[in-house]
């Protein structure tokens, strides 16, 4: 029998359609059907200036918007050969890790709710509300922040913002203890996740899984630690790796990542350097607003950048970062004009979805729900 | 750091492990090479693609065991029109390389990597769907983003941004 787990389903975390060929309760074949959220972002980016692409990148993986921003601006800065001031880099790390906490909290809440634990969902979203208030204070928007710019960050954080984030980071580990107390030793949760949807080490690499999906199967690789970008080499943090490869292992990896992200946030707050938040490159970076209103050259630069964009020397670049879901890469081809010739997003959810077949074939239907939750896909990321 | 000019000669790049491995092989033809912005791009002939990737994956000097991405660029109206790029990552040596294949507009087909990297499944389907490049040996080369009955390949340069509807 072929069962349709349709695009509208509370447990598929987005508009994912799964065709399940079942024999009783066991799955014989599983065929994912995606494309319901395809909005042609890659095509649209070819018609926009480089700085206009930044708000489009927010909407790709909508649970970690700042991470997408970072991946894109790092790629463009690599194309331009631009040096970013230290304070901007540390602010980027701080916001990136807050976004990682944000995204993992949504994962924890929704995948626990799929398995029946409703309270965890509400607790996670209570923490998430605090984080969204921080993002609103610093960038003006709760979710689609577009906070990073080519050359640095958009604005200085408001007065008192660092103290609020510090208060949050101080109380967060105790909140994590609360969630772990509800789930980690819970016999129902353990029974539904231990030994379910196993992914072996060889399969993980062969099928292109990255991020916690791959680290839950024993592969010790994290782009932040191994190929660092944006000052990540100045931070100390552990990368959790488990070998069992089941849903419980991936759960443990992500929960540990939440704690490690909190540690990175503390380190970033403690050591935040002073300095400018944008690079010194008048042809690319918009000038300070006050200067723009009083000095002629700044006004001219502002006008030219906004109306004509900045040109990027021809070439191509592939720049990847570690998003909460895995390796997020941007492949940008420039032909020397102010609009990118080709922008391709290597989205982790697109590649990670391929492991679903290996994980679920031969398992029960109820395990599919646990498996989808554990690979943590976001359909905006998958379809673009 | 200011940009350094790209290096396109083979001579100064001969020591890079990925390039050295491909140059040492008798059957693989390296058409072009570029070192730009700290990234190595190697153009190979279409027939040698699968062998080149197998060699880079299995040899201990290079160990490119992870396929990061397969994508395509459309250079319409100049020929060769399509340029398919394969991004490989070596987790052990923390290095990346980009292999590229140039294809003509009316002969846009290349062998699938399914026997080497099963992760190419969705990537190749996406390139087929949005550009029209066919991959021989792919188990299920169907459209993935657009609906099954869609006509045309949206990411080609002669397809308008607004679409046809």
User: pLDDT of B63-89, one tens digit each?
Assistant: 899 999 999 999 988 888 999 999 999
Mean pLDDT of chain B: 88
Instruction: Please give, rounded to a whole number of angstroms, the shortest distance from the CA of B66 to a CA of chain A.
Output: 6
Instruction: Please give, rounded to a whole number of angstroms, the shortest distance from the CA of B83 to a CA of chain A.
Output: 11
Phi, psi of A262 (to 5 degrees): -65, -40
Instruction: Please give, rounded to a whole number of angstroms, the shortest distance from the CA of A158 to a CA of chain B.
Output: 30
Q: Does position B1 have pLDDT exceeding 70, yes or no?
A: no
CB contact under 8 A, B37 and A79: yes
Instruction: Please give, rounded to a whole number of angstroms, the shortest distance from the CA of B94 to a CA of chain A.
Output: 7
Residue A163 CA to residue A309 CA, distance in Å, equals 37
The ipTM (two decimal places) reads: 0.93
Q: Which residues pair with B111 in a beta bridge?
A: B136
- Spatial neighbors of A209 by CB under 8 A, at least 6 apart, are A199, A217, A326, A351, A352, A354, A355, A375
Over residues B31-49, mean pLDDT: 89
pLDDT attached to residue B15: 82
Residue A351 CA to residue A14 CA, distance in Å, equals 16
Q: Please tell me which of the candidates A42, A207, A333 has its beta carbon nearest to residue B155.
A: A42
Q: What is the DSSP string of B98-136?
A: EEEEEE-TTS-EEE--TTT-TTHHHHHHHHHHHH--EEE
Q: Which residues pair with A17 in a beta bridge?
A: A33
CB contact under 8 A, B87 and A207: no
Q: What's the CATH superfamily of A42-383?
A: Cytochrome-c3 Hydrogenase, chain B (1.10.645.10)
Kindly list the residues from chain A whose CB atom is less than 8 angstroms away from the CB atom of residue B68. 208, 318, 320, 327, 329, 346
Kindly list the residues from chain B whose CB atom is less than 8 angstroms away from the CB atom of residue A352. none
For chains A and B, CB pairs below 8 A equal: 96
Q: Does position B30 have pLDDT exceeding 90, yes or no?
A: no
Kindly list the residues from chain B whose CB atom is less than 8 angstroms away from the CB atom of residue A46. 161
Residue A62 CA to residue A58 CA, distance in Å, equals 6
pLDDT by residue for chain A (384 residues), tens digit each?
898 888 888 877 888 899 999 988 889 988 888 988 898 899 999 999 999 999 999 899 899 999 999 999 999 999 998 889 999 999 999 999 999 999 999 999 998 888 888 889 999 999 999 999 999 999 998 999 889 989 889 889 999 999 999 999 999 999 999 888 888 888 999 998 888 888 889 989 899 899 999 999 999 999 999 999 888 999 999 999 998 888 999 999 999 999 999 999 999 999 999 998 888 888 889 888 888 899 999 999 999 999 998 999 999 999 999 999 999 999 999 998 999 999 999 999 999 999 988 888 888 888 888 898 888 888 888 888
Q: Please tell me which of the candidates B67, B144, B155 has its beta carbon nearest to residue A208.
A: B67
Residue B20 pLDDT level (bands cut at 50, 70, 90): confident
Kindly list the residues from chain B whose CB atom is less than 8 angstroms away from the CB atom of residue A350. 122-123, 126
Q: What is the DSSP string of A291-319?
A: HHHH-HHHHHHHHHHHHH-----SEEEEE
Kindly list the residues from chain A whose CB atom is less than 8 angstroms away from the CB atom of residue B65. 205
CB contact under 8 A, B98 and A206: no
Kindly list the residues from chain B whose CB atom is less than 8 angstroms away from the CB atom of residue A317. 37, 39
Q: Does position B107 have pLDDT exceeding 90, yes or no?
A: no
Chain B residues at the A interface, defined by Cβ less than 8 Å, are 1-3, 6, 36-39, 41, 65-69, 71, 73-74, 85, 87, 89, 91, 94, 96, 98, 117-119, 121-123, 126, 130, 143-147, 154-155, 159, 161, 163
Q: Please tell me which of the candidates A81, A208, A329 has its beta carbon nearest to residue B2.
A: A81
Environment class of A198 (CB within 10 Å of its CB; exposed 0-12, middle 13-18, buried 19+): middle
Residue A252 CA to residue A240 CA, distance in Å, equals 8
Kindly list the residues from chain A whose CB atom is less than 8 angstroms away from the CB atom of residue B89. 327
Q: Where are the domains of chain B?
A: 11-136
Give chain A's largest Cα–Cα span: 75
Q: What's the CATH superfamily of B11-136?
A: NADH:ubiquinone oxidoreductase Nqo5 subunit (3.30.460.80)
């Amino acid at each position: 029998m072929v069962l349709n787990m349709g695009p509208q389903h509370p447990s598929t975390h987005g508009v994912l359609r799964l065709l399940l060929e079942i024999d009783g309760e066991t799955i014989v074949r599983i065929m994912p059907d995606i494309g319901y959220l395809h909005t042609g972002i890659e095509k649209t980016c070819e018609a926009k200036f480089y700085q206009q692409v930044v708000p489009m990148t927010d909407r790709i993986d909508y649970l970690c918007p700042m991470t997408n921003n970072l991946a894109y601006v790092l790629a463009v800065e690599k194309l331009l050969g631009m040096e970013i001031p230290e304070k901007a880099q540390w602010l980027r790390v701080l916001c990136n890790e807050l976004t990682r906490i944000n995204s993992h909290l949504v994962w924890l809440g929704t995948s626990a709710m799929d398995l029946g634990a409703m309270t965890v969902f509400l607790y996670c979203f209570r923490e998430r509300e605090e984080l969204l208030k921080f993002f609103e204070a610093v960038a003006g928007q709760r979710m689609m922040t577009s906070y990073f710019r080519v050359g640095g960050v958009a604005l200085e954080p408001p007065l008192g913002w660092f103290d609020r984030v510090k208060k949050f980071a101080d109380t967060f580990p105790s909140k994590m203890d609360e969630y772990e107390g509800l789930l980690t030793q819970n016999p129902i949760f353990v029974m539904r996740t231990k030994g379910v949807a196993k992914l072996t080490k060889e399969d993980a690499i062969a099928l292109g899984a990255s991020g916690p999906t791959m680290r839950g199967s024993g592969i010790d690789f994290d782009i932040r630690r191994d190929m660092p970008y944006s000052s990540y080499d100045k931070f100390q943090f552990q990368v959790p790796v488990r070998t069992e490869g089941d849903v419980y292992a991936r759960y443990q990896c992500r929960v540990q990542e939440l704690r490690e992200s909190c540690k990175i946030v503390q380190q970033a707050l403690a050591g935040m350097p002073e300095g400018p938040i944008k690079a010194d490159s008048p042809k690319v970076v918009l000038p300070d607003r006050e200067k723009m209103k009083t000095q002629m050259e700044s006004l001219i630069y502002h006008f030219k950048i906004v109306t004509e964009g900045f040109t990027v020397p021809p070439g191509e670049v592939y720049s990847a970062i570690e998003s909460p879901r895995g390796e997020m890469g941007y492949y940008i081809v420039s032909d020397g004009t102010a609009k990118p010739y080709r922008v391709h997003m290597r989205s982790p959810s697109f590649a990670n979805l391929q492991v679903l077949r290996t994980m679920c074939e031969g398992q029960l239907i109820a395990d599919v729900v646990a498996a989808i939750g554990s690979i943590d896909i976001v359909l905006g990321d998958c379809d673009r | 750091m200011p940009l350094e000019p790209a290096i396109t000669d083979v001579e100064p790049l001969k020591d890079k492990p990925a390039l050295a491995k491909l140059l040492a092989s008798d059957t693989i033809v390296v058409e072009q090479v570029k070192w730009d912005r700290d990234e190595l791009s190697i153009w190979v002939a279409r027939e040698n693609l699968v062998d080149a990737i197998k060699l880079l994956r299995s040899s201990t000097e290079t160990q490119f065991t992870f396929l990061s991405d397969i994508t395509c660029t459309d250079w319409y109206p100049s020929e060769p029109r399509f340029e398919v790029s394969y991004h490989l990552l070596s987790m052990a040596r923390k290095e990346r390389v980009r292999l590229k294949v140039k294809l003509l507009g009316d002969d846009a087909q290349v062998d699938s990597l399914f026997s080497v990297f099963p992760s190419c499944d969705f990537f190749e389907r996406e390139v087929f769907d949005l550009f029209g490049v066919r991959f021989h040996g792919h188990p299920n080369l169907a459209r993935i983003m657009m609906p099954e009955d869609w006509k045309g390949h949206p990411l080609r340069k002669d397809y308008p941004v607004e679409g046809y509807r």
